[in-house]
Chains A and B, each alone.
Chain A
C-alpha cells in the first residue's frame, strides 16, 4: 500500500512539474494520470497493490470531493439569481450530449460493418 501511495504521489508530482515547466493549461493530476496510463500500457497491466489502493481511493472519490463541493455555499446568491439558465443548460446539455454521442457511435459501427463486408 505504501509503494502504491508513493507511486500515485510521484506521478502526481511529475504531472505538476510538467504543467509548471511547460505552462500547460491542464490540472497537474490529469497529466500525472496520463503518465501513469502510458506506464501501465507499456507494462501491460497494473500491479495488484496499485490496483487495490487505487480502487479504494476511487471507490470513495465522492467523499474526497465533499469539502470542495460544499464551497457552493459561498455562491448561494449566484445560484438563486441564475438557477434557471443553469438548470436548463444542464438538462438540455445532457440530452444533446447523449443523443449526439450515441448516434455518432452507432453510425461509426455501421460504417465499420459495411467496410468489413
Chain B
C-alpha cells in the first residue's frame, strides 16, 4: 500500500522544477557559506562545491541529467541577461582604459593568444582528443562565454566549464609566487595578468588585496572573454590547417 501512496508523490517530486531548483539553491547557499568560512580558499569556490553536491544527489537518486537540466531551465535562462550585464562593471573601467589603452591592448591580444594556444598545444602533445582540445581552448574566458564558444566549434560546454574552473583555481594559487619570482611589481600589470589568466576567481581575490590590481583584473577578465570569442574562429582554422585538429 505504501508503495502505491508514495510512488506518485515521488514521481511528482522528481519531475518538478521546484525540487531541483530548491536543491540547487540550498546547495549553493551552503557552498557560499563554506567558502566565506574558509576565508575564500580557491579550492572551495562555490560553483565546484555546488556541482559536486548536485551530481552526487543525481547519481544517488538515479536521476538522468536531462531531468535535472529541464527542471533548472530557469537558472540557465538567466545566464544570457547576466552575460549582457557584464558590460556594466566593464564600463566602470573606462577612465583607466583610456589612460593605459596601449599596454592594455597589446597585453590583451598577446595574453589571449598565449592562453588559447598554450592549453591546446599541451593537451595535443599529450594525446588529448579533439573534443578535449576544443573544450580547453577558451579556458581563460569567463564560463558564460567559454561554454557556448566551445560548443560552437565542436567542444563540450560542461568540459569547457571544468577547464575554466581548474584554470581559475590553479591560476589564482600560482599567481603571487610566480609574479614575485618575475619581479612584476606594478599593481596594474599584476592585476591585469591575474584577471586575464584566472578570470572571476583571480579577480575576486585581487579586489580584496589591492584596489588598482582588482580594477585591472576586472578589466582583463571582461576584455579577454570578448577577445577569446573573437579569436576562436581564426585559432580553430589555424589549428585545422596545421593538422592538429
Contacts and interface: CB of A to CB of B under 8 A. Distances in A.
14 contacts: A26-B229, A34-B87, A36-B88, A37-B91, A67-B72, A68-B157, A82-B128, A86-B123, A91-B170, A94-B198, A99-B178, A100-B114, A102-B182, A104-B110
Contacts, number: 310
Contact of B152 (A25, A58, A62, A75): A25
Interface residues of B, number: 105
Given A27-B229, A102-B189, A70 B55 contact: yes
A79 interface: yes
A interface SS class = helix
B45 interface: yes
A1 interface: no
A108 B81 contact: no
Nearest to A25: B233
B118 A102 contact: no
B122 interface: yes
Interface residues of A, number: 73
Contacts of B73: 67
A9 interface: yes
Interface of A: 5, 8-9, 11-12, 15, 25-30, 32-34, 36-37, 40-41, 45-46, 50-51, 53-55, 57-58, 60-75, 78-79, 82, 84-106, 108-109, 112
